[in-house]
Amino acid sequence: MKPTKEEFLVTGIEEIRENEPLSRHTTWKVGGPADLLIHPKSREQLEQAMKIIHQKQYPWRVIGRGSNLLVRDKGIRGVVIKLDEGFEYLQIEGTEVTAGGAFSTVVLATKTARSGLTGLEFAGGIPGNVGGAVYMNAGAHGSDISKVLVSAEVLLETGEWRRLTNEECKFRYRTSVLQNELKGIVTEATFRLTEGEAEKITAHLTEFKDRRRQTQPLQFPCAGSVFRNPPGDYAGRLIQESGLKGYQIGDAQISELHANFIINRGQAKAEDILSLIQYARKTIWDRYEVDLEPEVLVVGEA
């Protein structure tokens, strides 16, 4: 049964959209419609919505800023949840930093650096939010969320609230317990950082940002690194050495600037991007017998 707007009005959520194109909510600018897209502004609204979802057994998914996400062309059935302004907050107390699940990781890295706290500089180039960063154990420049997270508040799909410790998150390379074993929404995360000199930390952060601008095709819609780096190597190097830079299917293209990026040159479909991912994987396997594992999350109906 398809969820309806009327069912969720009782939660107090004001922004509820039926058949909302998810191309408007992903950094790749592709993706079909969500049956229902809701924007909870508070813990209470989110909890009530989750209780309805659980009671009616609707399929559901949470999305953040739409980075690292590929939504198929037929969209997502059930309810898509996008945390709103009530989850965009930041609190800094000494070396302990707490941020809402919808808070920008880029802004988090910038504000902590300016406060003289080091440890989150790597996140200055990750265009997502805190909830997604914990979910994916996001990382760059040799560090990741697992190095600094103390705990994460999670609303489980049963409507139960849990506070997970770093250990309970079971972090591994670009994964956490939330991807398979424990289905829930990260609504808040607490980090422990280290005191330092704000000027030096900010300069270090700026270096990372400058490097990102110089080496990544940010002028086009994209979703960050497409593949996880295989052990002891780099996905981008393997793709580049295979001569795939610039290879194109439809309007989806392997970037000529960074081979581990696929860009949307204008009118790409999710199917174009998926075909390009599959082609790159086959090419690398045939040449190196290395199975490139996608880092982007593919969701929705084919």
**Residue of 81, 66, 78 whose CA lies nearest to 16:** 81
Task: Respond yes or no: is residue 6 known to be catalytic.
Answer: no
φ and ψ of 16, to 5 deg: -130, 125
Q: Which of 121, 153, 188, 295 is catalytic?
A: 295
State the residue for tokens 């922004």.
Answer: 15
Active-site residue (options: 65, 174, 188, 281) = 174
Angstrom distance (rounded) from CA 272 to CA 267: 10
Is 199 part of the annotated catalytic residue set?
no
Among residues 20, 225, 255, 281, the one annotated as catalytic is 225
Catalytic status, residue 174: yes
Please give the positions annotated as active site. Answer: 174, 225, 295
